[in-house]
Structure 1
């Protein structure tokens, strides 16, 4: 029989407020707060906090801060990850982020899903008389070389393909195919990204 954490990670309905999950959340929330209260020039301090909060990292990563993370250990980060101000990750399910991914300010990755019917969503009474909110989860995958602009929200169950750009203010509710620019609420593909979108960096910068 699955325990509550196993149910959470497998996408089954689970008790989101179960006592077994509380210490893990509290640890991540404290680390998030400590990082959020640190400064950019406190490099060593920030490095230690990020290593504790995100044990599944594959290379360098930078978080501008403040940040809020639900668990941390359910997130895998590729190399050269960048998150601007107010990054939020509710990693109740697995979040996979590839290499060279950038997320703009107020980026939110939310794997938690609440039932549509209020009869299934409202607070439920445990055997001991206390209340909890039932929920389930869906994983998120962001493949290599993606840029999510400011104020983008990605909900559970979504895969964003390699090389995508997600426009500012978008809410991504469905998979986005590779090498496309997508935007809107809900987010939809606007165009394919091609060689016509190339910029001559040498000409532009020097």
Structure 2
């Protein structure tokens, strides 16, 4: 399966994107049962260090994934999500989009 990545995506070091898995039930697992699902990372996503993204996940436009998270379910656009398992902790607001960090003025 494939990994589809949009424009302007930032990925920190030690991120794992895995599109394959195996069944939880022992019998099919013993028979080397595997499955594959794509990962989709939309435009302008920021993924922190040491994040693991599991099969079948879509990370929506402009989202931020916190360092060390395990993303096992899709994440909505314009949200901040983190943890194990990764969960949305807040939405990115219009104020977030206009706020600049110190020293970033041009």
TM-score (norm 2): 0.91
Equivalent of residue 181 in structure 1, options 68, 71, 80 = 80
**Counterpart check, 1:153 vs 2:52:** yes
Shift of 1:113: 1.4
Matched residue count: 104
Match of 1:195?
Answer: 94
**Counterpart check, 1:168 vs 2:67:** yes
TM-score (norm 1): 0.48
- Mapped to 1, the partners of 2:87 and 2:54 lie a distance apart of 14
Match of 2:28?
Answer: 120
**Counterpart check, 1:103 vs 2:103:** no
More helix by share: 1
Deviating above 6 A after TM superposition, structure 1's stretches of 4 or more consecutive aligned residues are none
> What is the CA deviation profile of residues 108-136 of structure 1, one whole-angstrom value per residue up to 9, with x for unaligned ones?
110101000111112x3xxxxxxxx2201
Gaps of 5+ in 1: 1-92, 125-132
- Mapped to 2, the partners of 1:118 and 1:100 lie a distance apart of 41
Shift of 1:105: 1.1
